[in-house]
Amino acid sequence: MTETLRRGRASLAFGFLVQGVAFALLVTRIPALQDQYGISDGLLPVFLAGVPVLAGAGSVGAERLVRRVRPSRVMRWSQPAALLALLGAGAGDAMWEIAVALAAFGVAVGALDASMNMLGVSLQRTYGRSIMLGFHAAYSLGGIVGASLAWAGAHWDLSLFVLYLPVVVVLLPAAFLGSRWYVDDVRGRGDVGAEGRQEGQDGRGGGGEGADGVVVFRTLLPLCLVMAFAYIGDSTVSNWGAKYLQDVLGSSEQLSTVPYNVYMVMTLVGRGVGDLGVRRFGAVAVVRGGAVVAAVGFGVVAVAPGAWVGIGGFTLLGLGLCVIVPQTFAAAGRLFPGASDVAVARLNIFNYVGFLVGSPLVGALGDVWNYRGAMVVPLVLVLVILRYARSFAPGPDRYGDGHERARTADVGRSGNGL
């Protein structure tokens, strides 16, 4: 069974990487998509807002699906759908074609984000130690690879279809083949038995479950707010980093591309070592530390006298924000041990809420006030995460009592030391 877990962990990490590549290839080539389809500046925000809205719908759909099928099946089919939608976005020339492609991409990505984090949470529970940050590190690496491919496509003036086709041809069969080794954990599926409560639950409610064995939103709400605040910070960097450096700090156009690249590299570094931090200090300390570092990063960006100091602030932002989202998913799994898949799917919706709110909020404040002042808003929201840090503490009846539980595995009907 140990080999099964290792294969499951490696294949899931590859799935995260593929998702990072696909998402980066889309968002970094939005100007090219706009030119290819003749999308006006006024209409572009509608298209951009539609993707996270439909992704939220996809996450809701995944919640319903995992009551009937295992999360591995949802991920197995949603990942190819997202890749094919990406290819479709690069292949057309009519407005309706890009609308259909982006709609399909949004729904597929929502189901994919939810299902792959369900699998990550259940694998972490089975391993009995923090591994969730490693999966998100693979996503960050995929984002760097995707952004680099997008840069190469722009540098050599490749059409979007020519850029996307080889990526999809390579990654789609590889991801589908890797899906053979996904490892499900039926304890987190939230299956409902004949008496209307989750199988394996005694009906009294454990941790976050109510008396009927379902996820209690009031209990999940602190984590939902943390997820939204973290993504408001993330969307601020991705959408306004370049503009801020160029318009406010007076950098060159070339230098203005550096903040997002630095941010992504630091998310990879932070997530690469973050699991060790959780094992050593616990999730609460890591989340608190991440929130403080991110707040300092926003503060440095807000008061930076020049471009290089601003880039230093974005570096801190990458290190701070990167640990919060993976730990939020993991905390939801601990909070609802008998319904973790449902909890993860609902929590995942606030990923898109933060993305939808963050960019327009900072833009509006920048227009009516100034962009330095606008950076104070995500700074304050990140600091609010400190108030909810105790939500990341493991309970005495869940894995991670103290920091960790014994490194045991429970796959199927047997357990083996790892």
Residue range 284-295, pLDDT digits in tens = 999 999 999 999
Q: What are the phi and psi torsion angles at 209 (to 5°)?
A: -70, 145
Residue 172 and residue 311 in one domain = no
Residue 93 and residue 238 in one domain = no
Closest CA to 290 of 312, 266, 306, 308: 266
Which of 183, 217, 252 terminates a domain? The answer is 183
Classify residue 407: in a domain, yes or no: no
Residue 128 and residue 249 in one domain = no
Q: Which domain holds residue 371?
A: 208-395
Classify residue 404: in a domain, yes or no: no
Q: Please tell me the predicted confidence (pLDDT) of residue 117.
A: 97
Classify residue 191: in a domain, yes or no: no
Q: Which residues of 302-333 are buried (b: 16+ CB within 10 A; e: fewer)?
A: bebeebeebbebbbbbbbbbbbbbbbbbbbbb
How many structural domains does the chain have?
2
Classify residue 405: in a domain, yes or no: no
Residue 151 and residue 215 in one domain = no
Q: Please tell me the predicted confidence (pLDDT) of residue 1.
A: 59
Dist. CA 268–CA 278, nearest whole Å: 16
Residue 222 and residue 166 in one domain = no
Which of 168, 183, 198 terminates a domain? The answer is 183
Residue 300 and residue 261 in one domain = yes
Q: Please tell me the predicted confidence (pLDDT) of residue 28.
A: 81
Residue 338 and residue 250 in one domain = yes
Residue 159 and residue 84 in one domain = yes
Classify residue 197: in a domain, yes or no: no
CATH number where 308 lies: 1.20.1250.20
Q: Please tell me the predicted confidence (pLDDT) of residue 205.
A: 37
Q: Please tell me the predicted confidence (pLDDT) of residue 304.
A: 95
Residues of the chain with pLDDT under 50: 190-213, 396-418
Is the CB of residue 75 less than 8 Å from the CB of residue 119?
yes
Classify residue 415: in a domain, yes or no: no
Classify residue 199: in a domain, yes or no: no
Please give the structure tokens belonging to residue 307: 């471009």
Residue 163 and residue 221 in one domain = no
Residue 123 and residue 214 in one domain = no
Residue 226 and residue 178 in one domain = no
Q: Please tell me the predicted confidence (pLDDT) of residue 41.
A: 78
Annotate 104-149 with DSSP letters as a single string.
HHHHHHHHHHHHHHHHHHHHHHHHTS--HHHHHHHHHHHHHHHHHH
Residue 157 and residue 244 in one domain = no
From residue 270, alpha-carbon distances to 289, 317, 378 in Å are 12, 10, 20
Which of 183, 200, 228 terminates a domain? The answer is 183
Classify residue 202: in a domain, yes or no: no
